[in-house]
Structure 1
Protein backbone atom coordinates (compact mmCIF):
# COMPACT_ATOMS: atom_id res chain seq x y z
CA UNK A 1 0.00 0.00 0.00
CA UNK A 2 1.40 3.36 -1.02
CA UNK A 3 1.81 6.18 1.46
CA UNK A 4 -0.64 9.06 1.21
CA UNK A 5 1.24 12.38 0.88
CA UNK A 6 -0.26 13.51 4.20
CA UNK A 7 0.38 10.19 5.94
CA UNK A 8 2.77 9.49 8.78
CA UNK A 9 5.95 9.41 6.68
CA UNK A 10 5.82 13.05 5.48
CA UNK A 11 4.38 14.23 8.79
CA UNK A 12 7.10 12.55 10.85
CA UNK A 13 9.79 13.76 8.44
CA UNK A 14 8.53 17.35 8.79
CA UNK A 15 8.47 17.08 12.60
CA UNK A 16 12.06 15.80 12.65
CA UNK A 17 13.24 18.55 10.30
CA UNK A 18 11.48 21.26 12.33
CA UNK A 19 13.21 19.97 15.46
CA UNK A 20 16.59 20.01 13.70
CA UNK A 21 15.99 23.52 12.42
CA UNK A 22 16.06 24.82 15.99
CA UNK A 23 19.58 23.47 16.53
CA UNK A 24 21.41 26.37 14.85
CA UNK A 25 20.25 28.93 17.41
CA UNK A 26 20.96 26.56 20.29
CA UNK A 27 24.45 25.71 19.08
CA UNK A 28 25.40 29.34 18.43
CA UNK A 29 24.20 30.17 21.96
CA UNK A 30 26.19 27.36 23.58
CA UNK A 31 29.38 28.06 21.63
CA UNK A 32 29.61 31.46 23.32
CA UNK A 33 30.56 29.68 26.55
CA UNK A 34 32.13 26.38 25.54
CA UNK A 35 34.42 24.80 22.94
CA UNK A 36 32.70 23.01 20.03
CA UNK A 37 33.94 19.48 20.79
CA UNK A 38 33.12 19.62 24.50
CA UNK A 39 29.69 21.11 23.81
CA UNK A 40 28.84 18.59 21.09
CA UNK A 41 30.14 15.65 23.13
CA UNK A 42 28.17 16.64 26.22
CA UNK A 43 25.02 17.13 24.15
CA UNK A 44 25.11 13.69 22.56
CA UNK A 45 26.14 11.75 25.65
CA UNK A 46 23.13 13.28 27.38
CA UNK A 47 20.92 12.51 24.35
CA UNK A 48 21.90 8.86 24.40
CA UNK A 49 21.13 8.60 28.10
CA UNK A 50 17.74 10.29 27.68
CA UNK A 51 16.65 7.47 25.37
CA UNK A 52 17.58 4.57 27.68
CA UNK A 53 14.15 4.41 29.44
CA UNK A 54 12.42 4.19 26.04
CA UNK A 55 14.20 0.99 24.95
CA UNK A 56 15.20 -0.67 28.22
CA UNK A 57 12.06 -2.84 28.54
CA UNK A 58 12.61 -4.24 25.04
CA UNK A 59 16.40 -4.15 24.98
CA UNK A 60 18.08 -6.50 22.51
CA UNK A 61 20.00 -9.54 23.64
CA UNK A 62 23.76 -9.12 24.16
CA UNK A 63 24.43 -11.47 21.24
CA UNK A 64 22.34 -9.24 18.95
CA UNK A 65 24.22 -6.14 20.09
CA UNK A 66 27.61 -7.81 19.60
CA UNK A 67 26.56 -9.11 16.20
CA UNK A 68 25.67 -5.57 15.13
CA UNK A 69 28.58 -3.87 16.89
CA UNK A 70 30.22 -2.93 13.60
CA UNK A 71 27.05 -1.22 12.39
CA UNK A 72 26.66 0.71 15.67
CA UNK A 73 30.25 1.94 15.49
CA UNK A 74 29.95 2.93 11.81
CA UNK A 75 26.75 4.88 12.42
CA UNK A 76 28.23 6.46 15.56
CA UNK A 77 31.29 7.59 13.61
CA UNK A 78 29.52 9.03 10.58
CA UNK A 79 26.15 10.12 12.05
CA UNK A 80 27.45 11.70 15.26
CA UNK A 81 31.25 11.91 15.65
CA UNK A 82 32.15 13.10 12.13
CA UNK A 83 28.88 14.86 11.26
CA UNK A 84 28.61 16.91 14.43
CA UNK A 85 32.31 17.42 14.98
CA UNK A 86 32.41 19.09 11.55
CA UNK A 87 29.05 20.80 12.09
CA UNK A 88 30.10 22.46 15.34
CA UNK A 89 33.46 23.44 13.84
CA UNK A 90 31.68 24.97 10.85
CA UNK A 91 29.36 26.95 13.11
CA UNK A 92 32.38 28.67 14.67
CA UNK A 93 33.18 30.05 11.20
CA UNK A 94 29.80 31.06 9.74
CA UNK A 95 26.58 32.75 11.00
CA UNK A 96 23.77 30.49 12.17
CA UNK A 97 21.43 31.42 9.32
CA UNK A 98 24.08 30.71 6.67
CA UNK A 99 24.96 27.40 8.33
CA UNK A 100 21.28 26.42 8.31
CA UNK A 101 21.09 26.98 4.59
CA UNK A 102 24.37 25.20 3.76
CA UNK A 103 23.20 22.19 5.74
CA UNK A 104 20.21 22.38 3.41
CA UNK A 105 22.46 20.91 0.71
CA UNK A 106 22.37 17.56 2.53
CA UNK A 107 19.58 16.16 0.30
CA UNK A 108 21.85 16.66 -2.73
CA UNK A 109 24.72 14.82 -1.08
CA UNK A 110 22.40 12.05 0.12
CA UNK A 111 20.85 11.59 -3.32
CA UNK A 112 24.21 11.37 -5.07
CA UNK A 113 25.65 8.88 -2.57
CA UNK A 114 22.43 6.82 -2.52
CA UNK A 115 22.53 6.67 -6.33
CA UNK A 116 25.83 4.79 -6.14
CA UNK A 117 25.44 2.90 -2.83
CA UNK A 118 21.73 2.01 -2.58
CA UNK A 119 20.23 -0.39 -5.17
CA UNK A 120 16.95 0.94 -6.53
CA UNK A 121 17.52 4.48 -5.28
CA UNK A 122 18.51 6.22 -8.50
CA UNK A 123 18.46 9.81 -9.66
CA UNK A 124 15.31 10.72 -11.63
CA UNK A 125 14.40 13.80 -13.72
CA UNK A 126 12.17 15.38 -11.05
CA UNK A 127 14.63 14.54 -8.29
CA UNK A 128 17.50 15.96 -10.35
CA UNK A 129 15.70 19.25 -11.07
CA UNK A 130 14.77 19.62 -7.40
CA UNK A 131 18.29 18.93 -6.22
CA UNK A 132 19.85 21.30 -8.76
CA UNK A 133 17.53 24.08 -7.62
CA UNK A 134 18.52 23.40 -4.04
CA UNK A 135 22.19 23.52 -5.04
CA UNK A 136 21.65 26.83 -6.84
CA UNK A 137 20.16 28.20 -3.64
CA UNK A 138 23.23 27.09 -1.68
CA UNK A 139 25.53 28.60 -4.35
CA UNK A 140 23.71 31.94 -4.15
CA UNK A 141 24.13 31.98 -0.39
CA UNK A 142 27.81 31.04 -0.58
CA UNK A 143 28.80 33.56 -3.26
CA UNK A 144 26.83 36.32 -1.56
CA UNK A 145 29.39 36.21 1.26
CA UNK A 146 32.04 37.46 -1.24
CA UNK A 147 34.88 35.32 0.19
CA UNK A 148 37.39 36.91 -2.19
CA UNK A 149 37.04 40.36 -0.62
CA UNK A 150 38.01 39.83 3.05
CA UNK A 151 39.51 37.37 5.55
CA UNK A 152 36.06 37.08 7.15
CA UNK A 153 34.60 36.04 3.81
CA UNK A 154 37.38 33.49 3.30
CA UNK A 155 36.75 32.09 6.76
CA UNK A 156 33.07 31.72 5.94
CA UNK A 157 33.93 29.95 2.66
CA UNK A 158 36.08 27.46 4.61
CA UNK A 159 33.18 27.06 7.04
CA UNK A 160 30.86 26.26 4.14
CA UNK A 161 33.28 23.57 2.96
CA UNK A 162 33.41 22.06 6.46
CA UNK A 163 29.61 21.98 6.63
CA UNK A 164 29.41 20.26 3.24
CA UNK A 165 31.77 17.57 4.56
CA UNK A 166 29.40 17.22 7.50
CA UNK A 167 26.58 16.64 5.01
CA UNK A 168 28.55 13.79 3.40
CA UNK A 169 29.18 12.15 6.78
CA UNK A 170 25.49 12.35 7.68
CA UNK A 171 24.46 10.89 4.31
CA UNK A 172 26.74 7.88 4.82
CA UNK A 173 25.25 7.37 8.29
CA UNK A 174 21.74 7.38 6.78
CA UNK A 175 22.76 4.81 4.19
CA UNK A 176 24.22 2.46 6.80
CA UNK A 177 21.00 2.65 8.83
CA UNK A 178 18.82 2.06 5.77
CA UNK A 179 20.89 -0.88 4.52
CA UNK A 180 21.81 -2.69 7.71
CA UNK A 181 19.74 -1.33 10.60
CA UNK A 182 16.74 -3.69 10.47
CA UNK A 183 18.10 -6.06 13.13
CA UNK A 184 18.08 -3.38 15.81
CA UNK A 185 15.17 -1.41 17.25
CA UNK A 186 15.61 2.18 15.96
CA UNK A 187 15.45 3.88 19.36
CA UNK A 188 18.12 1.52 20.74
CA UNK A 189 20.34 2.01 17.67
CA UNK A 190 20.00 5.78 17.97
CA UNK A 191 20.68 5.76 21.70
CA UNK A 192 23.79 3.59 21.32
CA UNK A 193 25.30 5.40 18.36
CA UNK A 194 24.61 8.89 19.67
CA UNK A 195 26.11 8.06 23.09
CA UNK A 196 29.24 6.46 21.58
CA UNK A 197 29.71 9.28 19.06
CA UNK A 198 29.19 11.91 21.76
CA UNK A 199 31.63 10.19 24.10
CA UNK A 200 34.22 10.20 21.31
CA UNK A 201 33.75 13.94 20.76
CA UNK A 202 34.00 14.66 24.49
CA UNK A 203 37.20 12.60 24.84
CA UNK A 204 38.69 14.38 21.83
CA UNK A 205 37.93 17.73 23.46
CA UNK A 206 39.98 17.01 26.60
CA UNK A 207 43.46 17.85 25.21
CA UNK A 208 42.24 20.78 23.10
CA UNK A 209 39.52 22.62 25.00
CA UNK A 210 38.64 23.83 28.46
CA UNK A 211 36.05 21.73 30.31
CA UNK A 212 32.51 23.04 30.57
CA UNK A 213 32.21 25.48 33.45
CA UNK A 214 29.45 24.91 35.99
CA UNK A 215 29.15 28.70 36.28
CA UNK A 216 27.88 29.10 32.73
CA UNK A 217 24.65 31.13 32.56
CA UNK A 218 21.16 29.57 32.38
CA UNK A 219 20.99 30.23 28.62
CA UNK A 220 23.87 27.78 28.10
CA UNK A 221 22.23 25.01 30.12
CA UNK A 222 18.86 25.63 28.45
CA UNK A 223 20.52 25.30 25.03
CA UNK A 224 22.32 22.09 26.07
CA UNK A 225 19.16 20.48 27.43
CA UNK A 226 17.06 21.45 24.40
CA UNK A 227 19.70 20.24 21.93
CA UNK A 228 19.99 16.93 23.77
CA UNK A 229 16.22 16.45 23.64
CA UNK A 230 15.88 17.31 19.97
CA UNK A 231 18.72 14.95 19.00
CA UNK A 232 17.16 12.10 20.94
CA UNK A 233 13.72 12.64 19.42
CA UNK A 234 14.55 13.70 15.85
CA UNK A 235 17.09 10.96 15.20
CA UNK A 236 14.77 8.29 16.63
CA UNK A 237 12.02 9.46 14.26
CA UNK A 238 14.45 9.52 11.33
CA UNK A 239 15.86 6.04 11.99
CA UNK A 240 12.32 4.67 12.24
CA UNK A 241 11.50 6.15 8.83
CA UNK A 242 14.73 4.88 7.25
CA UNK A 243 13.77 1.32 8.23
CA UNK A 244 10.47 1.43 6.32
CA UNK A 245 10.75 -0.63 3.10
CA UNK A 246 8.84 2.02 1.11
CA UNK A 247 11.23 4.82 2.11
CA UNK A 248 14.25 5.69 -0.02
CA UNK A 249 17.21 7.52 1.47
CA UNK A 250 17.32 10.19 -1.24
CA UNK A 251 13.57 10.89 -1.15
CA UNK A 252 13.36 11.07 2.65
CA UNK A 253 16.34 13.41 2.81
CA UNK A 254 14.67 15.84 0.42
CA UNK A 255 12.52 16.90 3.36
CA UNK A 256 15.71 18.28 4.89
CA UNK A 257 15.39 21.23 2.52
CA UNK A 258 12.96 22.50 5.18
CA UNK A 259 15.79 22.80 7.71
CA UNK A 260 17.64 25.75 6.14
CA UNK A 261 14.49 27.81 5.69
CA UNK A 262 13.18 27.28 9.22
CA UNK A 263 16.65 27.44 10.76
CA UNK A 264 17.48 30.71 9.03
CA UNK A 265 14.20 32.31 10.07
CA UNK A 266 14.74 31.29 13.70
CA UNK A 267 18.31 32.63 13.58
CA UNK A 268 17.10 36.00 12.27
CA UNK A 269 14.43 36.17 14.98
CA UNK A 270 16.46 34.98 17.97
CA UNK A 271 20.07 36.01 17.21
CA UNK A 272 20.34 39.81 17.36
CA UNK A 273 23.44 40.05 15.13
CA UNK A 274 21.81 38.19 12.22
CA UNK A 275 19.30 39.54 9.70
CA UNK A 276 17.94 38.63 6.24
CA UNK A 277 19.35 40.01 2.99
CA UNK A 278 18.19 39.95 -0.61
CA UNK A 279 20.72 37.17 -1.33
CA UNK A 280 19.63 35.02 1.59
CA UNK A 281 15.97 35.40 0.66
CA UNK A 282 16.81 34.48 -2.95
CA UNK A 283 18.64 31.35 -1.82
CA UNK A 284 15.74 30.40 0.41
CA UNK A 285 13.37 30.91 -2.50
CA UNK A 286 15.30 28.41 -4.65
CA UNK A 287 15.29 25.87 -1.84
CA UNK A 288 11.54 26.31 -1.26
CA UNK A 289 10.77 25.91 -4.98
CA UNK A 290 12.87 22.72 -4.99
CA UNK A 291 10.66 21.23 -2.27
CA UNK A 292 7.46 22.23 -4.08
CA UNK A 293 8.59 20.79 -7.44
CA UNK A 294 9.59 17.49 -5.88
CA UNK A 295 6.30 17.03 -4.05
CA UNK A 296 4.00 18.59 -6.68
CA UNK A 297 2.96 15.27 -8.37
CA UNK A 298 1.78 13.81 -5.06
CA UNK A 299 0.02 17.02 -4.03
CA UNK A 300 -1.83 17.26 -7.36
CA UNK A 301 -2.88 13.60 -7.28
CA UNK A 302 -3.19 12.56 -3.61
CA UNK A 303 -5.27 9.48 -4.43
CA UNK A 304 -2.29 7.98 -6.22
CA UNK A 305 -0.05 8.34 -3.19
CA UNK A 306 3.62 9.24 -3.41
CA UNK A 307 4.81 8.57 -6.97
CA UNK A 308 7.88 6.51 -7.71
CA UNK A 309 9.29 9.44 -9.72
CA UNK A 310 11.29 7.21 -12.07
Structure 2
Protein backbone atom coordinates (compact mmCIF):
# COMPACT_ATOMS: atom_id res chain seq x y z
CA UNK A 1 0.00 0.00 0.00
CA UNK A 2 1.29 3.46 -0.85
CA UNK A 3 1.96 5.50 2.31
CA UNK A 4 -0.23 8.54 2.77
CA UNK A 5 0.36 11.83 4.54
CA UNK A 6 -1.72 10.52 7.45
CA UNK A 7 0.88 7.77 8.03
CA UNK A 8 3.82 10.19 8.18
CA UNK A 9 3.82 12.69 11.10
CA UNK A 10 7.16 14.11 9.91
CA UNK A 11 5.45 15.32 6.74
CA UNK A 12 3.09 17.41 8.83
CA UNK A 13 5.95 19.17 10.62
CA UNK A 14 7.86 20.04 7.45
CA UNK A 15 4.96 20.75 5.09
CA UNK A 16 3.92 24.24 6.32
CA UNK A 17 7.40 25.75 5.93
CA UNK A 18 7.90 24.11 2.54
CA UNK A 19 4.45 25.22 1.38
CA UNK A 20 5.11 28.86 2.33
CA UNK A 21 8.46 28.82 0.52
CA UNK A 22 7.02 27.29 -2.65
CA UNK A 23 3.86 29.43 -2.66
CA UNK A 24 5.94 32.58 -2.25
CA UNK A 25 7.76 31.89 -5.51
CA UNK A 26 4.53 32.40 -7.46
CA UNK A 27 5.09 36.14 -7.77
CA UNK A 28 8.72 35.54 -8.74
CA UNK A 29 7.66 33.13 -11.48
CA UNK A 30 5.09 35.62 -12.75
CA UNK A 31 7.81 38.28 -12.94
CA UNK A 32 9.87 35.96 -15.15
CA UNK A 33 7.06 34.73 -17.37
CA UNK A 34 4.51 37.49 -17.92
CA UNK A 35 6.72 39.63 -20.18
CA UNK A 36 6.61 36.80 -22.75
CA UNK A 37 2.92 35.77 -22.67
CA UNK A 38 -0.41 37.31 -21.71
CA UNK A 39 -1.83 36.20 -18.34
CA UNK A 40 -4.63 33.84 -19.41
CA UNK A 41 -2.50 32.39 -22.21
CA UNK A 42 0.33 31.73 -19.75
CA UNK A 43 -2.06 30.01 -17.35
CA UNK A 44 -3.62 27.94 -20.16
CA UNK A 45 -0.22 26.51 -21.12
CA UNK A 46 0.70 25.99 -17.47
CA UNK A 47 -2.45 24.22 -16.31
CA UNK A 48 -3.08 22.37 -19.55
CA UNK A 49 0.36 20.74 -19.46
CA UNK A 50 0.10 19.86 -15.77
CA UNK A 51 -3.39 18.36 -16.15
CA UNK A 52 -2.16 15.99 -18.87
CA UNK A 53 0.89 14.90 -16.85
CA UNK A 54 -1.15 14.34 -13.67
CA UNK A 55 -3.82 12.40 -15.53
CA UNK A 56 -1.14 10.08 -16.95
CA UNK A 57 0.40 9.68 -13.47
CA UNK A 58 -3.02 8.88 -11.99
CA UNK A 59 -3.70 6.26 -14.65
CA UNK A 60 -0.23 4.73 -14.38
CA UNK A 61 -0.39 4.46 -10.57
CA UNK A 62 -3.98 3.20 -10.40
CA UNK A 63 -5.30 6.24 -8.55
CA UNK A 64 -9.03 6.10 -7.71
CA UNK A 65 -11.30 8.43 -9.67
CA UNK A 66 -14.60 9.98 -8.50
CA UNK A 67 -17.44 7.48 -8.38
CA UNK A 68 -19.99 9.68 -10.13
CA UNK A 69 -20.34 12.92 -12.06
CA UNK A 70 -21.61 14.79 -9.02
CA UNK A 71 -18.43 14.07 -7.07
CA UNK A 72 -16.33 14.98 -10.10
CA UNK A 73 -18.25 18.24 -10.46
CA UNK A 74 -17.54 19.23 -6.86
CA UNK A 75 -13.85 18.56 -7.34
CA UNK A 76 -13.85 20.59 -10.56
CA UNK A 77 -15.66 23.51 -8.90
CA UNK A 78 -13.09 23.66 -6.11
CA UNK A 79 -10.39 23.69 -8.78
CA UNK A 80 -12.03 26.49 -10.73
CA UNK A 81 -12.03 28.61 -7.56
CA UNK A 82 -8.58 27.75 -6.20
CA UNK A 83 -6.76 27.62 -9.54
CA UNK A 84 -8.91 29.45 -12.07
CA UNK A 85 -10.26 32.46 -10.20
CA UNK A 86 -7.30 32.89 -7.84
CA UNK A 87 -4.47 32.46 -10.36
CA UNK A 88 -6.23 34.47 -13.07
CA UNK A 89 -6.83 37.30 -10.62
CA UNK A 90 -3.21 37.40 -9.44
CA UNK A 91 -1.74 37.23 -12.94
CA UNK A 92 -4.14 39.83 -14.33
CA UNK A 93 -3.47 42.17 -11.40
CA UNK A 94 0.29 42.02 -11.93
CA UNK A 95 -0.10 42.29 -15.71
CA UNK A 96 -2.14 45.48 -15.21
CA UNK A 97 0.70 47.10 -13.28
CA UNK A 98 -0.30 46.40 -9.70
CA UNK A 99 2.80 45.86 -7.59
CA UNK A 100 3.33 42.31 -6.40
CA UNK A 101 3.46 43.56 -2.82
CA UNK A 102 0.09 45.26 -3.10
CA UNK A 103 -1.40 42.18 -4.74
CA UNK A 104 -0.01 40.08 -1.90
CA UNK A 105 -1.51 42.45 0.67
CA UNK A 106 -5.00 42.24 -0.84
CA UNK A 107 -4.87 38.47 -1.12
CA UNK A 108 -3.31 38.41 2.37
CA UNK A 109 -6.67 39.31 3.88
CA UNK A 110 -7.74 35.72 3.15
CA UNK A 111 -7.00 34.25 6.63
CA UNK A 112 -9.40 36.71 8.28
CA UNK A 113 -12.15 35.82 5.79
CA UNK A 114 -11.46 32.11 6.31
CA UNK A 115 -11.68 32.52 10.07
CA UNK A 116 -14.91 34.50 9.82
CA UNK A 117 -16.54 31.98 7.47
CA UNK A 118 -15.15 28.66 8.75
CA UNK A 119 -17.48 28.76 11.76
CA UNK A 120 -20.83 29.07 9.97
CA UNK A 121 -19.76 27.04 6.92
CA UNK A 122 -17.56 24.33 8.44
CA UNK A 123 -18.49 24.37 12.12
CA UNK A 124 -14.92 25.18 13.17
CA UNK A 125 -14.28 27.27 16.29
CA UNK A 126 -11.76 30.12 16.16
CA UNK A 127 -10.50 31.06 19.63
CA UNK A 128 -9.68 34.54 20.89
CA UNK A 129 -5.97 33.76 20.74
CA UNK A 130 -6.32 32.71 17.11
CA UNK A 131 -8.22 35.90 16.24
CA UNK A 132 -5.37 37.90 17.82
CA UNK A 133 -2.87 35.92 15.73
CA UNK A 134 -4.86 36.53 12.56
CA UNK A 135 -4.94 40.28 13.21
CA UNK A 136 -1.21 40.32 13.99
CA UNK A 137 -0.55 38.45 10.77
CA UNK A 138 -2.51 41.02 8.78
CA UNK A 139 -0.59 43.84 10.50
CA UNK A 140 2.70 42.16 9.65
CA UNK A 141 1.73 41.81 6.00
CA UNK A 142 0.82 45.51 5.94
CA UNK A 143 4.22 46.50 7.33
CA UNK A 144 6.07 44.42 4.73
CA UNK A 145 4.34 45.96 1.71
CA UNK A 146 3.41 49.44 2.98
CA UNK A 147 6.30 51.12 1.15
CA UNK A 148 4.91 49.84 -2.15
CA UNK A 149 1.28 50.64 -1.37
CA UNK A 150 0.04 53.33 -3.75
CA UNK A 151 -3.45 53.91 -5.07
CA UNK A 152 -4.19 55.74 -8.32
CA UNK A 153 -6.61 55.39 -11.20
CA UNK A 154 -4.24 53.16 -13.20
CA UNK A 155 -4.18 50.56 -10.42
CA UNK A 156 -7.92 50.32 -9.78
CA UNK A 157 -8.39 47.61 -12.41
CA UNK A 158 -5.49 45.64 -10.97
CA UNK A 159 -6.94 45.96 -7.46
CA UNK A 160 -10.23 44.61 -8.75
CA UNK A 161 -8.48 41.55 -10.16
CA UNK A 162 -6.60 41.07 -6.87
CA UNK A 163 -9.93 41.19 -5.02
CA UNK A 164 -11.22 38.54 -7.43
CA UNK A 165 -8.22 36.38 -6.55
CA UNK A 166 -8.96 36.86 -2.84
CA UNK A 167 -12.55 35.68 -3.29
CA UNK A 168 -11.45 32.68 -5.33
CA UNK A 169 -8.83 31.37 -2.89
CA UNK A 170 -11.06 32.01 0.14
CA UNK A 171 -14.16 30.19 -1.06
CA UNK A 172 -12.07 27.60 -2.89
CA UNK A 173 -10.26 26.68 0.33
CA UNK A 174 -13.54 26.40 2.25
CA UNK A 175 -15.22 24.38 -0.51
CA UNK A 176 -12.21 22.07 -0.80
CA UNK A 177 -12.26 21.49 2.96
CA UNK A 178 -15.98 20.66 2.96
CA UNK A 179 -16.44 18.73 -0.28
CA UNK A 180 -13.06 17.70 -1.65
CA UNK A 181 -10.86 16.80 1.31
CA UNK A 182 -11.20 13.06 0.65
CA UNK A 183 -10.27 13.19 -3.04
CA UNK A 184 -7.17 11.42 -4.31
CA UNK A 185 -4.58 14.11 -4.93
CA UNK A 186 -3.42 12.60 -8.24
CA UNK A 187 -6.74 12.14 -10.00
CA UNK A 188 -8.55 14.95 -8.17
CA UNK A 189 -5.95 17.59 -8.98
CA UNK A 190 -5.83 16.40 -12.59
CA UNK A 191 -9.60 16.99 -12.81
CA UNK A 192 -9.26 20.43 -11.24
CA UNK A 193 -6.52 21.54 -13.62
CA UNK A 194 -8.31 20.11 -16.64
CA UNK A 195 -11.53 21.95 -15.74
CA UNK A 196 -9.63 25.21 -15.29
CA UNK A 197 -7.69 24.71 -18.54
CA UNK A 198 -10.97 24.17 -20.42
CA UNK A 199 -12.36 27.40 -18.99
CA UNK A 200 -9.19 29.26 -19.97
CA UNK A 201 -9.30 27.72 -23.45
CA UNK A 202 -12.63 29.49 -23.91
CA UNK A 203 -11.69 32.81 -22.28
CA UNK A 204 -8.13 33.32 -23.51
CA UNK A 205 -8.92 33.52 -27.27
CA UNK A 206 -11.73 35.98 -26.52
CA UNK A 207 -9.55 38.30 -24.42
CA UNK A 208 -5.98 37.89 -25.67
CA UNK A 209 -3.87 37.39 -28.80
CA UNK A 210 -2.55 33.99 -27.52
CA UNK A 211 0.96 34.97 -28.66
CA UNK A 212 3.87 33.41 -26.75
CA UNK A 213 7.57 34.27 -26.99
CA UNK A 214 9.33 30.98 -26.24
CA UNK A 215 12.38 32.33 -24.46
CA UNK A 216 14.48 30.55 -21.86
CA UNK A 217 12.99 32.75 -19.14
CA UNK A 218 9.45 31.85 -20.18
CA UNK A 219 10.20 28.12 -20.29
CA UNK A 220 11.79 28.28 -16.83
CA UNK A 221 8.78 30.15 -15.42
CA UNK A 222 6.38 27.73 -17.13
CA UNK A 223 8.12 24.64 -15.79
CA UNK A 224 8.61 26.07 -12.30
CA UNK A 225 5.07 27.37 -11.87
CA UNK A 226 3.58 24.38 -13.65
CA UNK A 227 5.22 21.54 -11.80
CA UNK A 228 6.93 22.85 -8.65
CA UNK A 229 4.09 25.21 -7.70
CA UNK A 230 1.01 23.68 -9.33
CA UNK A 231 1.94 20.16 -8.25
CA UNK A 232 4.23 20.42 -5.22
CA UNK A 233 2.67 23.41 -3.47
CA UNK A 234 -0.93 22.47 -4.29
CA UNK A 235 -0.43 18.90 -3.05
CA UNK A 236 0.95 20.34 0.18
CA UNK A 237 -1.95 22.79 0.49
CA UNK A 238 -4.65 20.16 -0.02
CA UNK A 239 -2.82 17.78 2.31
CA UNK A 240 -2.73 20.47 5.00
CA UNK A 241 -6.42 21.26 4.46
CA UNK A 242 -7.20 17.57 4.87
CA UNK A 243 -5.32 17.36 8.17
CA UNK A 244 -5.99 20.74 9.79
CA UNK A 245 -8.60 23.36 10.48
CA UNK A 246 -9.20 25.78 7.62
CA UNK A 247 -8.31 28.88 9.67
CA UNK A 248 -4.98 27.38 10.72
CA UNK A 249 -4.04 26.43 7.17
CA UNK A 250 -5.14 29.83 5.84
CA UNK A 251 -2.94 31.63 8.39
CA UNK A 252 0.10 30.32 6.49
CA UNK A 253 -0.78 32.71 3.67
CA UNK A 254 0.23 35.59 5.96
CA UNK A 255 3.83 34.43 5.56
CA UNK A 256 3.71 34.57 1.76
CA UNK A 257 4.26 38.34 1.28
CA UNK A 258 7.19 38.51 3.74
CA UNK A 259 8.87 35.46 2.24
CA UNK A 260 8.22 36.79 -1.27
CA UNK A 261 9.92 40.05 -0.29
CA UNK A 262 12.87 38.10 1.12
CA UNK A 263 13.24 36.02 -2.06
CA UNK A 264 12.96 39.15 -4.23
CA UNK A 265 15.71 40.76 -2.14
CA UNK A 266 17.98 37.75 -2.60
CA UNK A 267 17.28 37.30 -6.34
CA UNK A 268 16.64 40.83 -7.59
CA UNK A 269 18.34 42.96 -4.91
CA UNK A 270 15.04 44.64 -4.04
CA UNK A 271 15.31 46.79 -0.93
CA UNK A 272 14.26 45.20 2.35
CA UNK A 273 14.08 47.85 5.08
CA UNK A 274 13.76 47.63 8.84
CA UNK A 275 9.98 48.11 8.66
CA UNK A 276 9.67 45.11 6.32
CA UNK A 277 11.84 43.00 8.62
CA UNK A 278 9.67 44.02 11.58
CA UNK A 279 6.57 43.07 9.58
CA UNK A 280 8.00 39.61 8.93
CA UNK A 281 8.54 39.11 12.65
CA UNK A 282 4.98 40.24 13.47
CA UNK A 283 3.52 37.92 10.81
CA UNK A 284 5.49 34.96 12.17
CA UNK A 285 4.22 35.66 15.69
CA UNK A 286 0.64 35.86 14.39
CA UNK A 287 0.87 32.54 12.58
CA UNK A 288 2.42 30.94 15.68
CA UNK A 289 -0.53 32.12 17.79
CA UNK A 290 -3.06 30.71 15.33
CA UNK A 291 -1.36 27.32 15.09
CA UNK A 292 -0.18 26.83 18.68
CA UNK A 293 -1.50 23.62 20.18
Q: TM-score, normalised by structure 2?
A: 0.85
1:240-255 correspondence runs (5 A): 240-244=239-243, 247-255=244-252
Q: Which runs of 5+ in 2 are unaligned?
A: 1-5
CA RMSD of aligned residues (A): 2.6
Determine whether 1:105 maps to 2:109: yes
1:144 CA drift (Å)? 3.9
Q: Which residue of 263, 267, 283 corresponds with 1:266?
A: 263
* Secondary structure of residue in 1 paired with 2:207: coil
1:116 is aligned to 120
1:254 CA drift (Å)? 1.6
Q: Which runs of 5+ in 1 are unaligned?
A: 299-306
The structure with the largest helix share of the pair is 2
1:76 is aligned to 79
1:43 CA drift (Å)? 1.1
1:188 is aligned to 187
May I ask how many residue pairs the two structures share in their alignment? Answer: 283
1:24-103 correspondence runs (5 A): 24-56=27-59, 57-60=61-64, 64-92=67-95, 93-103=97-107
Cα gap change, 1:16 to 1:107, in 2 (>3 Å) = same
Q: TM-score, normalised by structure 1?
A: 0.80
1:1-310 correspondence runs (5 A): 7-56=10-59, 57-60=61-64, 64-92=67-95, 93-119=97-123, 121-140=124-143, 144-145=147-148, 147=150, 151=152, 154-156=153-155, 159-160=158-159, 162-213=161-212, 215-229=213-227, 230-244=229-243, 247-271=244-268, 274-295=270-291, 298=292, 307=293
1:130 CA drift (Å)? 0.8
1:30 CA drift (Å)? 0.8
1:145 CA drift (Å)? 4.0
Q: Deviations over 1:149-191 (max 9, x none)?
A: xx4xx54465345324312211211222211225531221112
Cα gap change, 1:145 to 1:242, in 2 (>3 Å) = closer
* Aligned-partner Cα distance in 2 for 1:278–1:241: 32
Cα gap change, 1:145 to 1:19, in 2 (>3 Å) = closer
Cα gap change, 1:203 to 1:10, in 2 (>3 Å) = farther
Q: Deviations over 1:183-226 (max 9, x none)?
A: 5312211121022113312431112212233x431011111011
Cα gap change, 1:27 to 1:197, in 2 (>3 Å) = same
